[in-house]
Structure 1
Amino acid sequence: MNSIEGVAKVKNLTQPAILDVSFFKGVPDSPYWVLSTDYQSYSLVYSCTDYYGMFHIDFAWILARTRLLNKEVVSQLHDELVSAGVNINKLLVSDQAGCERSKAKINERPIIGILAQNSRYLPPSSTGYIASSYVKFLESGGARVVPIMVNREAEEYKRLFNSINGVLLPGGSANITSSGYQRASKIFYELAIEANKRGDYFPVWGTCLGYEQLTVLTSGEKLLTRTNTSGVALPLLFTKEAKQSRMFKNFPAELMEALASEPLTENSHKWSVSVLTHKTNKDLKNFYKVLSTNTDGEIEFVSTVEAYDYPIYGTQWHPEKNAFEWRRPYISHSPSAVMSTFYMAQFFVNEARNNFHTFESEEEERSALIYNYNPVHSAPNSGFEQKYIF
């Protein structure tokens, strides 16, 4: 490797600007140069050398405050380093400040936002609620939770988006064409689409109403059909794409068999996206891969989807209820039903592990977490055992 001081000459990047350079001399050529975005809120460029399994950082190059270095900046960085005389065998985009080897790093501390919503059954002074079962669902998969309040400024949502690692749009009764729930969902959905296009992996999950909301955001219109599916548990009718889907490909065979043959999925919806509608609407058909369907005896409807090109997922059924809700007799609590809850939770949380947004400080993170609120026992006057009321 040429003298590392040569790297300090690379000062003409349009974004971001160089703040500092530190280096270690006398280290042989490194096989990898790694571009990372997990040095607090800074970016860190460094090379590393593998000495019989022990990594040595050759140098560290701290860049200006940024959360994403897009392809253009990465390409420019590569060209500038080569022009500076640095021997680069490989330039990688890494997800943590550590040396990249054969296996990608993951975020071991994922934080997922759950969107709150209003309800006419809440106290007049409240601003929204989240059913505790959604919080427990994500926590069971290894994530922490941040509530996303409705009716906040777009800039606040954008700051929160850049601090969390995924979003869950829960079920409920909000208006999906005009409400605080719809507005916040739209903002996070569009931010997620933009981020994923830039290579900033950001997953979105919609359950029941949340899935219906996703279809409105994708198609630009409400495409729901009335179905007799309020208060029933059903087996999933898997499509041929399900087995190799991102969502289901790592599920145990016995669990897939149980989901297909036993009434394990709780349905609490009066409206659905019919299979016919999905097939004939170009926006839905081109965006979402159908993984399962169901029928109320007359109308076949879509029950599970994943986007073709984005980490966006939807279920018309409620995977969280089997383990955490006890008010309704039709909710299955069998071993397979409970196992399905945890496998679905683990899948989505693992998706969030591929994102590396962080809060600006530990104090800001602590103040945002759901731990700052206490759930209340809302049964028997509610379909939920517990709620967080804000």
Structure 2
Amino acid sequence: MSKDTVLFLFFIAIFQCFLSTKSYNSGTGIIPLTQLHHDSLVSLPVSCPPPDRSLYYQPVIGILSHPGDGAFGRHSNATGASFIHASYVKFVEAAGARVVPLIYNEPPEMLLKKLELVNGVLFTGGSVKDGLYFETVGTIFKKVLEKNEARDHFPLYAICLGFELITMIISEDDNILEEFKAKNQASTIQFVESAHIEGTVFQR
């Protein structure tokens, strides 16, 4: 083999090594499995589809409005107005979710359509336990049961009045609630055995 032939083959080998290195660095080449090791696996580019900006990947929670305009003593006015205290909205948003208002006196078909667009419902506190508001709570509660029975995870969170209304609906007894005086009465919290209170303000 002549000297010129040896030099020619040598330059071809160098050129091929250069192309392999360039392809590896740019992430466009195919690397044999025998050349892969831990460091190279970490540095390999990962191809993932970009997120769809038209979709919202966080939960959307519906909050049922309460009759009245929110002013003290005017929770049962006859104007058709309703309100949601800002504290409930901030409570849901603090967990990373968005809020959709469920207006208690809006058309039933609109309410049911909204329930298909949210991931859960919150019943707020208040004072109204009858009339259209109570009927709307019952409609939503029935829909929540249907979704969960169909294995569609659909949580319902009820606070104060909301919890009372659920009690009335489940028991089918509008008079199940009893009034009692609890002003200036301190009571002790009794935790169940499985409660983990270590490191909390309740630990003694």
How many correspondences in the alignment? 149
Q: Which residue of 2 aligns with 1:239?
A: 192
Q: 2:91 and 2:142 mapped to 1: Cα distance?
A: 25
Q: Could you tell me how far 1:229 is from its partner in structure 2? A: 3.0
Q: Which residue of 1 aligns with 2:63?
A: 114
Q: Which residue of 1 aligns with 2:181?
A: 228
Q: Which residue of 2 aligns with 1:163?
A: 117
Match among 191, 198, 203 for residue 253 of structure 1: 198
Which aligned pairs between 1:307-346 and structure 2 lie closer than 5 A? Answer: none
Q: 2:89 and 2:184 mapped to 1: Cα distance?
A: 22
Larger Rg: 2
Q: 2:169 and 2:197 mapped to 1: Cα distance?
A: 33
For normalisation by structure 2, the TM-score amounts to: 0.62
Q: 1:174 and 1:142 mapped to 2: Cα distance?
A: 29
Q: 1:232 and 1:156 mapped to 2: Cα distance?
A: 44
Pair 1:180 & 2:132 matched: yes
Q: Could you tell me how far 1:138 is from its partner in structure 2? A: 1.0
Query: What is the aligned-residue RMSD (CA, Å)?
Result: 3.1
Match among 74, 80, 91 for residue 137 of structure 1: 91
Instruction: Name which structure has the greater RCO, CA cutoff 8 Å, separation 6+.
Output: 1
Moved over 4 A (4+): 54-57, 122-126, 230-235
Describe the superposition over 1:307-328 as per-residue Cα deviations: whole angstroms up to 9, x where unpaired: xxxxxxxxxxxxxxxxxxxxxx
Q: 2:86 and 2:136 mapped to 1: Cα distance?
A: 20
SS at match of 1:147: strand
Q: Which residue of 2 aligns with 1:217?
A: 169
Contact 1:111-1:144 within 8 A present in 2 as well = yes
Unpaired stretches in structure 1, ≥5 consecutive residues: 1-51, 58-96, 98-106, 244-250, 262-390
Higher helix share: 2
Q: Could you tell me how far 1:168 is from its partner in structure 2? A: 0.7
Match among 152, 157, 160 for residue 200 of structure 1: 152
SS at match of 1:217: helix
Q: 1:159 and 1:233 mapped to 2: Cα distance?
A: 45
Contact 1:127-1:150 within 8 A present in 2 as well = no
Letter in 1 for 2:198: A
Q: 1:192 and 1:140 mapped to 2: Cα distance?
A: 23
Contact 2:103-2:111 within 8 A present in 1 as well = no
Q: 2:48 and 2:157 mapped to 1: Cα distance?
A: 39
SS at match of 1:229: coil
Contact 1:114-1:145 within 8 A present in 2 as well = yes
Contact 2:80-2:105 within 8 A present in 1 as well = no
